[in-house]
Amino acid sequence: MQTAVITGVSRGLGRAIALTLTNHGVRVVGIARPSVELDGLVGEAGPLFTAIAADVADPDAMVRAAASTFAALGHVDLLVHNASTLGPVPLRPTLDITAQQLAQVFAVNVTGPHALTRRIAGAMALRGQGTVVAISSDAAVNAYEEWGPYSAAKASNDHLYRVLAAENPTVRFITVDPGEMDTAMHAAAIPEADVHTLRKPSQVAKALVTLLGHAETGVRYELEVSP
């Protein structure tokens, strides 16, 4: 693998994946909305890293980001959809979620990312190789109270990837549940959690890179992380 695009790189798992890959010599394009954290990563990750400030919920911005990406990388071997939102926090019962709020969660987790997948996986199909990963969650399979929008979006994306895998035999489409991690998202969802029981994003990022060595298309993986 030479080149990768990661969304949601300003903090948490996405940042850890970007750093792990640049440490492996992979040229990485990282996407997140503009922030000092994103600017900071540019310095930390070094010359193999290029930042694109864009909102993954905006399909047109994703088409433009794809153009910048190809201008920077030439071709893309790996695309990781990691950016995500829970929707309104504190989490609340699904009947308290408006249709607009639900649509925004789907825009960040499913529909906006699909605009980027379209632009990048099409070129992968022509080359006859490439991997697209969507980060999933155990909320995609379990019906936890108050996790309605997020879990519905994650479940829907898992299924979208099974269909993409069935349709595109030469591109690998996988989804990966990273397990519970010590990140800003986890703190926003479950503020009372004991952070010592949570995985470090850097460990999870390494396990993800190992998984990519043997993962099969159309499969949903739950990451094993040895403590």
Partner 1 sequence: MTAAVLPRPSLVQRLLVVHAGDDAVFDGKFLDLPQWFEPGDVLVVNDAATLPASLPMHVHGVSGELRLVGAPEEGWVVLFGPGSWREATEDRAAPPSVVVGDVVQVANRPVPVLEVSDISPRLVRLALTLDEVLVHGRPVQYSYVPRSLQLDEVQTPYATRPWATEMPSAGRVLTPHLVHALRERGVRVVSVTHGAGLSATGDAGLDAALPLPERYEVPQATWDAVTGAKRVVAVGTSVVRALESAARGPLAGVTALKIGPQTKLSVVDALLSGMHEPGESHFQMMAAFVDLERLRRAVRHAEQEGYCNHEFGDSTLLFRDR
Ligand X SMILES: NC(=O)c1ccc[n+]([C@@H]2O[C@H](COP(=O)([O-])OP(=O)(O)OC[C@H]3O[C@@H](n4cnc5c(N)ncnc54)[C@H](OP(=O)(O)O)[C@@H]3O)[C@@H](O)[C@H]2O)c1
Q: Is 65 in the site for ligand X (CB under 6 A)?
A: no
The sign of the CA dihedral 11, 12, 18, 24 is: positive
By CB under 8 A, the residues from 142 to 171 that bind partner 1 are: 167-170
Q: How far is the CB of 45 from partner 1 (least distance, A)?
A: 19
Query: Residue 168: which of partner 1, ligand X, none does it interact with, CB under 5 to 8 A by kind?
Result: partner 1
The radius of gyration computed from the CA coordinates of the chain, to the nearest angstrom, equals: 16
Check residue 200 and report its DSSP letter.
Answer: P
- CA–CA gap between residue 52 and residue 67 (Å, rounded): 11
Q: How far is the CB of 166 from partner 1 (least distance, A)?
A: 12
- CA–CA gap between residue 162 and residue 109 (Å, rounded): 16
Q: Which residues make Cβ contacts (< 8 Å) with residue 166, sequence separation at least 6?
A: 218
Q: Is 118 in the site for partner 1 (CB under 8 A)?
A: yes
Q: Is 90 in the site for partner 1 (CB under 8 A)?
A: no
Binding track over 163-182 against ligand X, x by CB under 6 A:
---------------x-xx-
Q: What are phi and psi of 80, to 5 degrees?
A: -115, 115
Q: How far is the CB of 151 from ligand X (least distance, A)?
A: 10
**Catalytic site includes residue 144:** no
How many residues bind ligand X (CB under 6 A)? The answer is 28
Amino acid at 183: T
Q: Is 5 in the site for ligand X (CB under 6 A)?
A: no
Q: Is 63 in the site for partner 1 (CB under 8 A)?
A: yes
Q: Is 22 in the site for ligand X (CB under 6 A)?
A: no
Q: What torsion do the CA atoms of 90, 102, 14, 52 make, to the nearest 10 degrees?
A: -120
By CB under 8 A, the residues from 167 to 226 that bind partner 1 are: 167-170
Which of the residues are catalytic? 150
